[in-house]
Structure 1
């Protein structure tokens, strides 16, 4: 039996820069990078510089 499930939430970390203010550190639980980015945009609005990553993904060889 094949049951589709959402992937478990993972921790994404990053920074957001709003106008000329210092960067704000981010910590988000989300099931994907797209979901994490969407949550940041929901909270802070569009038009800011955002950098988000998952430590596990970042440490894997490419």
Structure 2
């Protein structure tokens, strides 16, 4: 997720992770909670069309 939006499976692929539950628990939830990424459809977190994008905080963290 350099620029733009990725699905959960795309993010997992880029990170080389295969276990969905491990990814959700150890990567996805913490970065959402820290405000580094955000959902594109926050009102429907379980949507099959859900994607994620970096927030401005996430972009700034990448620069470090």
Would you call these one fold, judging by a TM-score over 0.5? Answer: no
Largest Rg, 1 or 2: 1
- TM-score between the two structures when normalised by the length of structure 1: 0.27
Select the structure that is richer in helix.
2
- TM-score between the two structures when normalised by the length of structure 2: 0.27
Select the structure that is richer in strand.
1
